Amino acid sequence: MAKINFGGVEENVVTRDEFPLSKATDVLKDETIAVIGYGVQGPAQSLNMKDNGFNVIIGQSYDFKRDWDRAVKDGWLPGETLFPIGEATRKATIIQYLVSDAAQMAVWPVVKQYLNEGDALYFSHGFSITFREQTGVVPPENIDVILVAPKGSGTSVRRNFLAGSGINSSYAVYQDYTGRANERTIALGIAIGSGYLFPTTFENEVYSDLTGERGVLMGALAGIMEAQYKVLRENGHSPSEAFNETVEELTQSLIRLVDENGMDWMYANCSATAQRGALDWRHKFREAVLPVFNDLYRSVKSGTETKIVLERTSGPDYKNELEAELKEMRESELWQAGAAVRKLRQGK
């Protein structure tokens, strides 16, 4: 492991320098890796491992025909590298359990039935294990239980891999039956194309992940955009102006500067007027939202958010409810303005 200084705090991380792909290949040379679920993370992780030369098969229910057909389109062959979930689990020594959190609860009796002694059960989210009292996902004692959680969507995992950069991931070991769990975990992190790996626990991964998704990464971001757009429109600004000042400049310019060299560098490369105003107002925004984030974290840690997810997403009408919510967002003036701006930017 390499010791890296993060804001004055030293942490151990695993890079591809001390754990290269060749070492991962050696660690996993006798393993068959079954990726269960070809939805969000499944395609990216399986294709990256396949491209890296690992022995990968897919487990996917044919009842979800869209995902099955997508797997076939991506080159997985029914009966050779594409199987029903139970059969893929039985054939594998490492089972990457990448169906949705609600589906993990539903499919668990099938997966558990086919686990063999010494197998590794791999997660990319600490949800099912941390909240096992709610999910019922309680692994047998004679297997390894491990986690590699890429810090991005499946699309980003695949895109970064193809670009040669990789996406950073956290990793954890919940249960080490074989004595090889840590080595297996890191090797799998390298195999799926991680840029570097930092240690965590199943609990910390899910607490930080659920907080981040509901907060800065998605929930807070969307809410803040909606609020600013509303204020600008109510004060007479046009949809295009309100959208450009709320979303377009952030996504097409400023966030890229943050990515390159940090927030201070972005500030340093903006006008003096923007710098001064942003430096002053960031404190007000921080103090305003801090109570909301504290409430959010408590809701996550208590299991309240998990309960909501499992109840809502397992409902018979959830897909229709979700589409209705997304349709409302898509057809709002804010995001209709966004669609028009994107077309103009792309010259259409």
Q: What pLDDT digit, counting tens, does each position of 232-283 carry?
A: 999 999 999 999 999 999 999 999 999 899 999 999 999 999 999 999 999 9
The answer to whether residues 15 and 105 belong to one domain is yes
State the chain's mean pLDDT as an integer: 94
Asked if the structure places residue 139 within a domain, the reply is: yes
Both 191 and 247 in one domain: the answer is: no
Domain boundary residue among 177, 200, 223? 200
- For the cut 90, the answer to whether the pLDDT of residue 314 exceeds it is no
Q: How many domains does one find in the chain?
A: 2
pLDDT band at 304 (very low <50, low <70, confident <90, very high): very high
DSSP 248: I
Distance from C-alpha of 153 to C-alpha of 48, rounded to nearest angstrom: 14
Per-residue pLDDT at 348: 66
The secondary structure element, H or E, covering residue 198 is strand 194-199
15: which 2 tokens?
């890079």
Burial (CB count <10 Å: 0-12, 13-18, 19+), residue 167: buried
CATH code for position 84:
3.40.50.720
Percent of the chain at pLDDT > 90 equals: 84
Of 143, 172, 200, the domain-final residue: 200
How far is Cα 300 from Cα 306, in angstroms, rounded to an integer? 7
Is 283 an active-site residue?
A: no
Shared domain check, 188 and 76 = yes
Looking at the structure, do residues 100 and 174 belong to the same domain, yes or no? yes
Average pLDDT over residues 333-342: 94
Q: Please report whether residue 264 resides in a domain.
A: yes
Give one word for 184, left, alpha or beta, with left for phi > 0 and alpha for psi -120 to 50: alpha
What is the full DSSP assignment across 259-277? HHH-HHHHHHTS-HHHHHH
Considering the candidates 50, 125, 214, 233, report the single residue annotated as catalytic. 125
User: Rounded to an integer, what distance in angstroms lies between the CA atom of residue 18 and that of residue 1?
Assistant: 7
268 belongs to a structural domain: yes
Residues 184 and 255 in one domain: no
Task: Examine the domain organization and report whether 32 and 125 are in the same domain.
Answer: yes
In this structure, are 187 and 322 located in the same domain?
no
Structure token pair of residue 235? 């004060």
The candidate with the shortest Cα–Cα distance to 143, out of 107, 91, 169, 180, is 180
Range of the domain at 130: 2-200
| Distance of alpha carbon 188 from alpha carbon 28, whole angstroms | 8
Is residue 48 a contact partner of residue 150, using CB atoms and an 8 Å limit? no
